[in-house]
Structures are given as C-alpha cells and as structure tokens.
Structure 1
Amino acid sequence: MKVLPYAHPVLSCQQAKDLEFSVLTDASAEWSAMQQAGAGIAKSVIEDYQELRSVPEHLRILALIGKGNNGGDALLACGQLLADYPRAQVDLILTSPADELRPLAARALQELEGRVQIRQISEACGLSEISQMLVELGGEIGFHICIDGLLGMSFVPPLRAPVCDLIEAINAFEGIELRASVDLPSGAGDGVEPDALILRADFSYATGIAKKPLFAGWGTCGRVRYVDLGFFKTTPGQVVEAEEAILTDAVLAPLRRLRPANVDKRSFGHLFIVGGSARMPGALLMSVRAAVSSGVGLVTAFAPSSVTAVLAAQVPEAMWISWPETSLGTLSPSGMSLILERIDQATAVIAGPGFGADASTEMVAQEIVKLVECPLLLDADALRVSVLEPVRMRQEAYGRVVLTPHMGEFMRVAKLEEPDYTNDVLLDFSKSHGVVTVLKGPQTRICNGASVIYHTQGGPVLARGGSGDLLTGLIGGMLAQNAHREEEAVAQGLYLHGLAAQCLARVHGQVSVHTTQLLDYLSAVLRT
C-alpha cells in the first residue's frame, strides 16, 4: 500500500535498521534524532503516568541503561524529565562500564553528570543481588517510573548475564508504578519466541519507526506509543511500500480546520442509525449520542416503538422514527419501508447497536445490506454469517461495508473455533468479504483486505460496556461526512474515540468512570 498521510509503516527490526541507516547519514543527524526521541519519550511517559495520578514533584525515576543508542535515548529522556521536574531523583543502572558505552550514549551520560546516581552491575551479579539492589535504591517509596533502555532493535537472542537477571528482577519488583520501554521492551525483537523472557513494559515508546515485534502478541509489549521523528515525511508522488502501518494524529487534521462559511447542516452528511430493542435501548442511545457529537449534520435514529419517546427526550438533536416491534421487543421486518422511503436522504447507515439476536433483526440486517447503497456500518448483533452473505453481492458502485467486531464477534463471523490475532486471518476475511474490518482490542486493527493499520490509542479505560457503541456512532458520523473516503473516515472515528478515552483516563483515572464521560472530551481532543 502507499503510505497514507495519516499512517506510517510498521517494519521489522532489520528493515528499520536499514531505513535509519539511509536517513541518519552522520553522527550529527543521529544525535539530533536521539535528542528528539528523548524529549518525545519524556513528554509521553508523563502524560501516560497521569492515568494513575497527578505527577509528583519529587518524581522517582529508575533508568536501565545499555551500551547502545537505546541507552542514549533513555538517558536523554531522563535529562528532559530532570529539566521539567527539578526535584526529581534519577537512579541509573548500567550493565557495562561507562567507558564501554557507544559514543552518543556516552555523550548523553556526560550531560547528566552530577545530576544522577549511578550503579553498575557486572556479570558476577546474580538475581538475588540485583533484587536486593532494587530494594535498597527504591527505599520506602519505590519508583514512580522505570525507563528501560537496555536493548534495542539490534538485539539477537539469547539474553546474557547480567541483563537476563536484571530483566527478571525488574519484572518481579513491585516497587515500580509504570514501566516504560524505549523502542522495544528489552528481550523483544525479530525472531524472538513468544514465551521468551522480555521486560514486562506497561508502555513501549517506538522511536522513529514502529517495529513489528510490538504487534506480535496480545499486548505483551504493553501499550504502544509512536514517537514520530520525521522519517516518513514524503514529497508529492513519493511512495513507501508497507503492508502494515500505524495510525498517527495527522488523521484528525481535516477535523481541526475551520469549516467553510458557505455551508449548512446538509453539507456534513446525514447518518441513519437502525438499532435498539425494548431490552437494550441503551446501546442505541449511546451510538446516537456519539454520532451527534461527531460533527455530522443530521442524525436520524430508527428505534422500537415502545422506547422511541424516552430515547428522543434524551437526544433531541436527532430525529427519531418509531419502528414496529416484535413480541420480543425487537425490530420487526415489517418496518423496512420506514427506512427505504427516506434512504435517498442518507449518506451513511449504521445497523446493529442493541438489536438483540433473533430471526427478525437478522432479516432486517440482511435487507439493509441488500437495499442500502450508501456506506454501511454493521455492529453488534448485525454481525452474523447470514448477514454477511449478501455483502458479497453488493454492486461495485455501492458504498463500502464496515464491520466493527470485537474478537468474540469476529470468531462468529469468521467461523473460528478459538481466538486468532494473526494478520493473515484478518486479511483473508476482509478480502474474501470485500469489507473494511475494524477488529477491536488492546491493539485495534483496520483491515481493507490488502493492508492492516494499527490503532494504539485508548487503553483499559475502554474495557467496559458501551465503549463499542460510542465508537460505532463516531465512525458512522465520520462515514456520513466523508462518504467517498470510507477508510479515512473509519480511521478518524477510531482515533478520535481513542484520544478522548485517554484524555478521560488522564483526568479521572481508568477505574471510576462512566463510559459516556468519553464524549465530554471529544471537543478538547480536536482543539488540542
């Protein structure tokens, strides 16, 4: 695929080394990139720490320093943190003598001279000795942040002493609140076995290039942050080939511009949302609320007749259409005329939130797939094998079909017996059905059948009921506004949702929040 303006390639460690070699042509360029990486890591780790609590003035930082440029990045991050928090205390653990550091790492260490405490461990230091050192250094408080700069993308297995024992000790040490790895957790890399020992990072800060090992498992490298160093600035017409990419903040740039003066509500699309049931009206309500907040011009919601009035009172900005329901309180196929007689007004349609799984809603979803020509998003109970069968029959001129399953729903529609997080399965499914799949999870992936784009924003604050319904509404709203660039619209909705979730967690934490509080942070994210 061509590198999109809003997604940068994900490369193997060897590919990344080759690219860096071609971009960083001398020591001056290397040092500049290292400074940029250190500053980016320091900024990001402080933002991420706020999901725990406010950052203390007397910040306690432990940094694990190897002899290469990874160690240099970590040292420069420590220098930036000391500049931002003058009362902070930094303890360094070096795995080799200072005079064995590579030139740029040695330069970074010299800049910290007199401002940090340094311990060096030798090959003779065993696990128990290192563990005792951590207890002594941490004292009663422990460490707020541990920065792992031991090994980088050049690591080749196996791990050797004393690094192996240090990683084990760090993994077992409970006196660390947040573990941050520079580029890759130490021990991770190309060809590393899934059960190999690696440092258990809470966050991995990919500097310059996001490397494939970060996405090889179910969050084994912690949450991924991409620190862009400008390696992928392309000139018009320049193409960089990659089958995997990571979504960047640039995807929101169109939403952060002033809107033209000569517009009205019809200029920003009209989204139809078909969903809800007497037993699950909340899912539809959340999708509608999110859609209204997406910037779309008009929203029309089709809801079961028994709950329409109650829902309409809560979101008066939307237009509500009462749909006949079955004895089970689900949407009856007899109401299809309600959407079809208005369908010329719609620029995108959502089907599924709060549907309930019965034969009636299955038939409604099938008819929508067959008869609706504009872009279509299927979610929740609309994600069924029988509903996807007519997707293959849609005419080429019709808008794309977008699916937003979590792994349980994906297993159902892809007919998997157990969870499978490999890209091959996702690519095959999306290609064979001709759909854009948004597979939700700790590392959400957008797949069009030819490529995979990773989305890493959001985090555990989204691991609660209703977050998917909000995402559906946001993506649907973007589709309605951007009906001819469906994949970009999907990426916008996903990224906006993730950033708002992080903003929520940094203000209120990950635990004691309501799902819909996320909506309060959409505006702040766009205005940043």
Structure 2
Amino acid sequence: MSSLPRTFPLLSCEQARAFEQALFKGDSQREWEAMQRAGKALAAAVERDFLELAEWPEDPRLLVLAGKGHNAGDALIAVRHLVEERPDSHVTILWASDPNEARPHVQQARGELGRCRVAKLEEVVWTTEGALSSPEPEYDVVFDGLLGMNFTPPLRSPYDKMIEWANHRDRHFGMRVAVDLPSGVGDAEAPGAFRADFTYAMGLPKAPIEDERNGEWVGRPELLDLGFLNAGVELPEVQACWLDKRDALRQLQHLRPADSHKYTYGQVAVIAGSPQYPGAALMCMGGALRVGPGLVTGIVPHMLSSRLALALPEVTWMPVAARPDGSLEVEAVRAAHMMASNRTKCIVMGPGLVADRNALFNITRIVREITLPLVLDASALTPEVVPAVLGRHPQAGPVILTPHPGELKRLLDRREDGFDPQQVSDFCARHRVILVLKGRITRIFDGESMIATAAGGPVLARGGTGDVLAGMIGGLVAQDPGNCRAAILRAVAWHGAAGDALATRFGQASPRTTELIDYLPMVLRERIRRV
C-alpha cells in the first residue's frame, strides 16, 4: 500500500487547450464522445451534491446559461440525464445569442434535450434583464455554460450583463454550477465572474480553480475524471497537482492478511487534551481509531484519563502529571520516550493542549528528542515549537504540520490574511516539514511540490474536524511509516469523502463533528473503480 495516490497536473488554460488539441486532433466524433462522458459525469456529480442543499424535488426547475461553446453542450447533456428520470422537470435555456449560431456539438446536445419528455422546455435569447418571465421563477440548479477556458478578459456584452444578473439572484437560485470554469475566470486575474457553489473541472484540472484569488467565483472545485490521463498524450511537467481522491480511497480498499495481528498495523500515540478541551483529545483519538491502527495510546493530563476512558475504551491510556489547568509537566516527555521505545510508529501532538510557557517547553523537547514521525496540530503549531524540528536527529522521521489559515498566519508571522504558496513552500523546505494547509482547498506542501484537493466543504467548517484529521493522519502513518506522504494524501481524501457523505445525508449546517467519525467506514464500503 506504499505507492502514492495518482495526481493530475494543474494546467494553465493555455496548456489545457494544447493538450485537448493533441488529444482530439480535430476528430469531431472523439470530441462528441468526450462531451457525452462529460455531460453524464456532470449530471451524476450534480445529482449527488444537490443533496447537501435538499432532497431532489419531483419537478425540479433547471436553468442553463448557454453560450456558443462546448461548455454549453456539457451542461445540456447533463440536464438531459437529470430530466430523463424526472419527466415533471421544468427546463429553461437562456442563450447569450442566437442558438443556431452555437457550435455543432452544442446543436446536437440541444436536439437530444429537445426530444426528452419534460413538463416544460423553454428557450430564451438574452436581450435585457427582463428576458425571463415575470415574476422571475426560482430555479433549483443553474448551470453556467457561457464561457470556457478560451476566455480572455474583459467580459464583453452580453456575458457581462448575464453574469451580473445571475450573481444577484441569490433568492431565486438553489445550487449554482460552473462547467469546467466559472465564466469570466481564466489564466488572467478575474475582476468579476459567475459566482458558483460548485465548479466541475472536465477531464483535467485547470490552475485557475486552485488559485485562491478565484475562490469567490469557483466555490468548491471538483475534478470529473474522463480518462484523459490514460489517453497517451504527453503532459507538461508542473509543480502543482490535483489529488485523485478516488485513487486515494481505492488504495484503502483491500483485504487484510489472515495471519495479521495488532502489531501488524502499528501503534500511534496521541498527546492531547486539557480540562477545557477534553473533546479535542476524544475526536483526535476517534479519528485515529477509525483508520485501522493496531493500537492507539492516549497520553493525557492525569485528571482526564478516567473520564475519557469511558468514552473510548479501545484506547490504552497513559495519564501524566499536569498542572491544575492541564499544562503538561516533564512527565509527558518521559511518556513520549517510553512510547518511542515500545513499538509506537507515530506520535500526534497538540489537539486541546494548554499552550503556556511550561507546556510549550515540554512539547518542544518532544519534537526535538523523539525520532518517530510526528503530527503537530493546534496548540503544537507555534513559532516556539516548530524551529525545534531543525534540532532533530538527521535520521528522524518526518514532521507533519496541519494548520488552518489562522495557524499558518501565526507560523509565518504574517499580519495580513491569505498566503503566498511560494512562501509556504520555502517555509517547508527551510524547516524540513510537510505542511497540510486546511481550508476550502486543502493543500499539501513538502518544500518541492504542492498537491491540492477539495472535499468535505462547509460541513467541515466546525470545531474538531481538524482534530479528527490529525488523528487520521497519525493512524495511517503508523501503518505505513516509510511512506508518510501517501498516508497524508489518503487521510485527506478519506476525511473529505466522509464530510461529503455526511453533508449529503444531513446537509451542511446540522451535523455534529463526532458524526464525521462515524461516516469514515461508510465511504470505503462503495467499490471504487478506475475510469
């Protein structure tokens, strides 16, 4: 299980155009077949992700903002798949110009949709903001198929007016879907574009979806694999890639050897918790338990162990001396050394810990003295602790940092929000760490390259989900300590997939963080096959 999950290169729009030209070589039939695959994959993704908003109505109202190019064709094919099982659907196609001027494949997709049995199919050409019926209807899903990766700024009429109109219809639109890229987003910085909830990249991810400056327009990016990596066309070398989440999950789906035992799957120790934040320790260890290590040991302040043991009896507990507020004493350092000499393969440290001067001194000692792979989260992510990594033995295992943007800001000593990817990469190279930056897009930096992915979405925007991820990374590293990067990528993909499943079941607002842990085994039950 040691090979890295597959990644896709993040290509500029110019590079993606060159790739598609080399792939299709002007073959109209191959383009049409690819468009059919794209539309079908888009429909399946929208069918799934709409459930984060609501159950599908029997009579959905779908709106397609259609330009002349192939993105409109992808959207029309997707709508056809969605309405085939919903004959009471209402479909409106709002064309930017005369639909008879659209490209041939768009005309084909339009014709196929026109032959579907639906309650209503309306085609309107944009003229003014009053192009649609009055009062304006509400739409469950809106597809942006206006412009594609061939776009160059500025936005011209009527696209600028259509996008402005769409972006001011929050009360009328349920789910906003961008096909490949939001209209108005390209290689150049986008001062304005279609504001999507989900952007589905077709075949290969385009670099603008990862650019944080486009986050307002892109929403949640998702890659729809159309088999382009297997097409035999050479791809350019790039330093930034997009994780194939399905491949990462597929690597976790295997039967264990019949003669294995608990020590086959490693032992992870978690140093966490305080009287104020006992739940952080529980969530971290709960995440670790669910990913399958043979043993999980909790090193916690002595006043917590008996209560925590009732909640997680599978964990072996090692209570250590602490001050009344939970600040760890030197006994925690001795406990870490004991675990390091007793089959432990990884230590996770930080969730819920007190971060006063005394505790930080002992945390810093553990970082410097313990040679096992370490996962540092929450209270262990301070400018006082991280430099200790440079004092570790040259043969020590990797140190993995898991900050959210606020913690990264503290580590980099930045005053302004946001981050510079090159600065983060330089920080990793200078401190010899791997950094998992959590956020709308999760990015994994190792000082040489960056791998990005987006999964889980806003349902993970609640306290404790990062503690779960830290435990998961530690539990998977313990099983494969010689390949920490692969373990990290699998953990990030698994964590996000559980978030996606949780949101489609309960929506984005209502779940509890601990329910995320319960969804971890469920997302591995579906057999995942390569495209």
TM norm structure 2: 0.93
Q: Is the 8 A contact 2:19 2:235 kept in 1?
A: no
Q: Find the residue that maps to 1:512 and give its secondary structure.
A: coil
| TM-superposed deviation, 1:114 | 4.4
Out of 447, 450, 463, the position equivalent to 1:465 is 463
| TM-superposed deviation, 1:254 | 2.1
Counterpart in the other structure of 1:244: 240
Question: What does the per-residue CA deviation read over 1:495-519, in whole Å, with 9 as the maximum and x for residues that have no partner?
Answer: 1111111111111111122110011
Instruction: Describe the shift of the 1:488–1:134 C-alpha distance in structure 2 as closer, same or farther (beyond 3 A).
Output: farther
- One-letter amino acid of the counterpart of residue 63, structure 1: V
Q: Find the residue that maps to 2:114 and give its secondary structure.
A: coil
Instruction: Describe the shift of the 1:33–1:386 C-alpha distance in structure 2 as closer, same or farther (beyond 3 A).
Output: same
Matches of 1:18 and 1:189 in 2, distance apart? 15
Counterpart in the other structure of 2:477: 479
Out of 133, 139, 146, the position equivalent to 1:143 is 139
Matches of 1:112 and 1:137 in 2, distance apart? 23
Matches of 2:358 and 2:460 in 1, distance apart? 30
5+ residue gaps in structure 1? none
1:127-142 residue pairs with structure 2 within 5 A? 128-130=129-131, 133=132, 135-136=134-135, 138=137, 142=138
| TM-superposed deviation, 1:72 | 0.8
5+ residue gaps in structure 2? 527-531
Of 361-370 and 222-231, deviating more is 361-370
Q: Find the residue that maps to 1:37 and give its secondary structure.
A: helix
Instruction: Describe the shift of the 1:134–1:213 C-alpha distance in structure 2 as closer, same or farther (beyond 3 A).
Output: farther
- One-letter amino acid of the counterpart of residue 241, structure 1: E
Q: Is the 8 A contact 1:65 1:148 kept in 2?
A: yes
Q: Is the 8 A contact 2:71 2:147 kept in 1?
A: yes
Counterpart in the other structure of 2:155: 159
Matches of 2:115 and 2:282 in 1, distance apart? 58
1:450 is aligned to 2:448: yes
Instruction: Describe the shift of the 1:76–1:119 C-alpha distance in structure 2 as closer, same or farther (beyond 3 A).
Output: same
Question: What does the per-residue CA deviation read over 1:108-149, in whole Å, with 9 as the maximum and x for residues that have no partner?
Answer: 111122446343425xx23x334xx264562xxx11000110
- One-letter amino acid of the counterpart of residue 212, structure 1: A
Q: Is the 8 A contact 1:273 1:300 kept in 2?
A: yes
Q: Is the 8 A contact 2:434 2:446 kept in 1?
A: yes
Q: Is the 8 A contact 2:336 2:370 kept in 1?
A: no
- One-letter amino acid of the counterpart of residue 92, structure 2: D
Q: Is the 8 A contact 1:276 1:284 kept in 2?
A: yes
Question: What does the per-residue CA deviation read over 1:292-342, in whole Å, with 9 as the maximum and x for residues that have no partner?
Answer: 111111101101001111101110101000110024322112332122123
- One-letter amino acid of the counterpart of residue 444, structure 2: I
Counterpart in the other structure of 2:295: 298
Instruction: Describe the shift of the 1:342–1:234 C-alpha distance in structure 2 as closer, same or farther (beyond 3 A).
Output: farther
Q: Is the 8 A contact 1:272 1:350 kept in 2?
A: yes
Instruction: Describe the shift of the 1:172–1:377 C-alpha distance in structure 2 as closer, same or farther (beyond 3 A).
Output: same
Q: Is the 8 A contact 2:6 2:248 kept in 1?
A: yes
1:193-232 residue pairs with structure 2 within 5 A? 193=190, 196-217=191-212, 219-220=215-216, 221-232=218-229
1:63 is aligned to 2:58: no
What percentage of residue pairs aligned between the two structures are identical? Answer: 38
Counterpart in the other structure of 1:362: 360
1:28-47 residue pairs with structure 2 within 5 A? 28-47=29-48
1:171 is aligned to 2:179: no
Q: Is the 8 A contact 1:181 1:205 kept in 2?
A: yes
Matches of 1:241 and 1:215 in 2, distance apart? 17
| TM-superposed deviation, 1:478 | 0.9
Q: Is the 8 A contact 1:94 1:118 kept in 2?
A: no
Question: What does the per-residue CA deviation read over 1:220-267, in whole Å, with 9 as the maximum and x for residues that have no partner?
Answer: 2111111011111388xx886221111121012221111122211111
Matches of 1:240 and 1:162 in 2, distance apart? 35
1:334 is aligned to 2:335: no
Q: Is the 8 A contact 1:443 1:456 kept in 2?
A: yes
Cα root mean square deviation, aligned: 1.7
Aligned residues: 514
Matches of 2:134 and 2:439 in 1, distance apart? 36
1:49-448 residue pairs with structure 2 within 5 A? 49-115=50-116, 117-121=121-125, 125-126=127-128, 128-130=129-131, 133=132, 135-136=134-135, 138=137, 142-173=138-169, 174-193=171-190, 196-217=191-212, 219-220=215-216, 221-233=218-230, 241-248=237-244, 249-344=246-341, 345-448=343-446
Q: Is the 8 A contact 1:278 1:330 kept in 2?
A: no
- One-letter amino acid of the counterpart of residue 172, structure 1: H
Q: Find the residue that maps to 2:107 and give its secondary structure.
A: helix
Counterpart in the other structure of 2:529: none
Q: Is the 8 A contact 1:121 1:162 kept in 2?
A: no
TM norm structure 1: 0.94
